[in-house]
Amino acid sequence: MKRNYFQCCVFLCESYLFSLVNKFTIFTFVNFSDDQLNLVHDLQELLSDNLFEDLDITNIEVKDLIETNPLISKALIRLGDVYRKNNSEVYDKLEMISGENVSNPKATFPGEAVSDFLQEYQNYFPKLEEYANKIFNQVNRNFRTRHVLLVEYLKKHHKIDVIDVVPKNDDFFLKRYVPEKKTLYLSDFLTLDTKKIYCAGQIVQAEAMDLIESYLKDYNFPSETAKKLTTISLVNYTAAAILMPYKLFYEECRKHRYDLELIQHTFSVSFEQVAHRVTCLQDPKMKGIPFHMLRTDIAGNISKRLSLSGIQIPRYGGACPRWNIHSAFMLPGKIHCALSKMPDGERYVCIARTIEKGIGRHGIYRSILSIGLGCQAKYAKDFVYADSLNLKDENAAVAIGVNCRTCPRMDCQQRAFPPINKNIDINLDVRGASPYVSN
């Protein structure tokens, strides 16, 4: 009798704990790998869609699915991507027919397959690094004359001419390679650091496409377009590795504690190129800080995302408005530093800075984007931007989430949408931190 009573108490305690876990969105994925955690985040975000709201799917159920059927979980993510893609195409056609703007809340970024690919490889491709180092040794004289050396290399080894031109208004391009003429045309609207990337990329296309294909051939891409976009990404990866060879770049990062602007000037490259490159330092023998990186426009559209730090970056839609990648637009060109805290308690040192992209000429509006980069707070001593932050004060951290639908913070004044797995009790007589909170 006592034994049955004890078992009953244990069962009730477990049931109560599970209900608390789901009610307060307690993070329970302690033993998951980084890949599993990314899958958790993507699946939770997918299930936060209003389409599934009445199903009341819990975090425990998401955890169980990923533990027992990870392939089915990936299939659901892929279905979600296709659903959003098809949905976006329908809205585009409606706009064409009606001639009016049609709001589409489920539009998706077409390069998500590229992000998934880079995430799977932890954004580190040793064969491409080894090749890039060989090319660097042949053009290694002076960082500030690297463009000339790359042009000379193309002419000497591949008989490719590089010609700078000002494109006509009716024939706009940034770069154009004409195989019949063995000529690479580069727009004079480009900055020199971008021209260097394109020249290095042309060398990669002439010599290293077999190495790139060795990474692509066994990956299951959702479409041929996704594969081509990933090919371009790996060409650019290798080109950046030629300009910033792994060992030398790693040593400079360690020496200057990832002072991105100083390193940018050392290698004569752009801020965005440096931010990309620091995420690639994943050689087990010379491993850098595991960063996350994202890029967004002023409307909050995320065009690049990669997370090696463990922070979740939204797959669908924009990020939490409290991320400093948004506030960076208020002071363009300045690096913004913040200590951020996710709902699971993990703290991150995050920096953000705006960049300008587009045509460099009078009368043409250039787009402004924001680059976000960050790491777990435990790496703060190796990250120069953490020096200005109070890491000892737990209250100094900015409470952030992923996005409103998956964030459990009910006291957030910037909440735009109600969270999933929360019963919303609206009181006409009381207004809390947001319209969805009454106390």
| Residue 267 in domain | yes
**Among the three residues 57, 91, 108, which one is the final residue of a domain in this structure?**
108
pLDDT of residue 196: 96
Residue 18 lies in a domain: no
> Domain holding 227: CATH number?
1.10.10.2910
pLDDT, position 66? 83
**143 and 59 share one domain:** no
The b-or-e profile of 396-408 (16+ CB within 10 A means b, else e) is: ebbebbbbbbbbb
Q: What is the pLDDT of residue 91?
A: 54
**pLDDT attached to residue 54:** 64
Q: Find all residues with CB under 8 Å of 39, minimum gap 6, and list them.
A: 66, 70, 73, 74, 77
pLDDT 10s digits, 376-385: 999 999 999 9
Which pLDDT does position 5 carry in this prediction? 41
Residues 79 and 145 in one domain: no
pLDDT reading at 146 higher than 90: no
Beta bridge partners of 287: 282
In whole numbers, what is the pLDDT of the chain averaged over residues?
Answer: 85
What is d(CA 432, CA 439) in angstroms, rounded to the nearest whole number?
Answer: 5
Residues 279 and 322 in one domain: no
Distance, CA of 268 to CA of 263 (rounded, Å)? 8
Q: Give the mean pLDDT of 326-331.
A: 96
Nearest to 272 by CA among 333, 313, 330: 333
Amino acid present at 219: Y
- 5 found inside a domain: no
Same domain? For 104 and 250 the reply is no
85 and 214, same structural domain? no
Domain count, the chain: 3
What are the pLDDT digits (tens) for 247-269? 999 999 999 999 999 999 999 99
The region of weakest confidence among 26-30, 325-329, 417-421 is: 26-30
pLDDT at 89: 62
Q: What is the mean pLDDT of the segment spanning 34-61?
A: 74
Domain that holds residue 74: 24-108
* pLDDT given at position 90: 66
Q: What integer is the mean pLDDT of 332-351?
A: 96
Q: Within a domain: residue 378? A: yes
Q: Residue range 328-332: average pLDDT?
A: 96
Reply yes or no on whether the pLDDT at 359 is more than 50. yes
Q: Select the more confidently predicted residue: 12 or 320.
A: 320
Give the Cα separation of 206 and 157 in Å (integer). 10
Q: Which tens digits make up the pLDDT trace of 82-134?
A: 777 677 666 556 545 654 544 444 444 557 889 989 999 999 999 999 999 99
Residues 260 and 324 both lie in one domain: no
Are 281 and 351 within one domain? Answer: no
407 domain-assigned = yes
pTM: 0.77
User: Do 295 and 433 sit in the same domain of this protein?
Assistant: yes
pLDDT per residue as tens digits for the range 163-202: 999 988 788 899 999 999 999 999 999 999 999 999 999 9
Is 14 part of a structural domain of the chain? Answer: no
Task: Categorize the per-residue pLDDT at 15 as very low, low, confident or very high, splitting at 50, 70 and 90.
Answer: very low
Among candidate residues 246, 268, 288, the one where a domain is terminated: 288
Instruction: Say yes or no: 300 and 404 in one domain.
Output: yes
For residues 402 and 420, state if they share a domain.
Answer: yes
**Cα dihedral 33/39/43/45 (nearest 10):** 90
**300 φ/ψ sector (left φ>0, alpha ψ -120 to 50, else beta):** left
- Which of 108, 131, 155 is where one domain is finished? 108
Tokens of 31: 């033993």
Specify if 13 maps to a domain: no
Q: Which two tokens stand for residue 32?
A: 């998951």
Same domain, 124 and 34: no
What integer pLDDT is reported at residue 381 of this predicted model? 98
- CATH number for the domain harbouring residue 360: 3.30.450
Q: Which residue has the higher pLDDT, 223 or 183?
A: 183
Same domain assignment for residues 314 and 243: no
Mean pLDDT of the 55-77 span: 80
Residue 17 lies in a domain: no
pLDDT, tens only, 203-216: 999 999 999 999 99
Task: Say what the pLDDT of residue 354 is.
Answer: 98
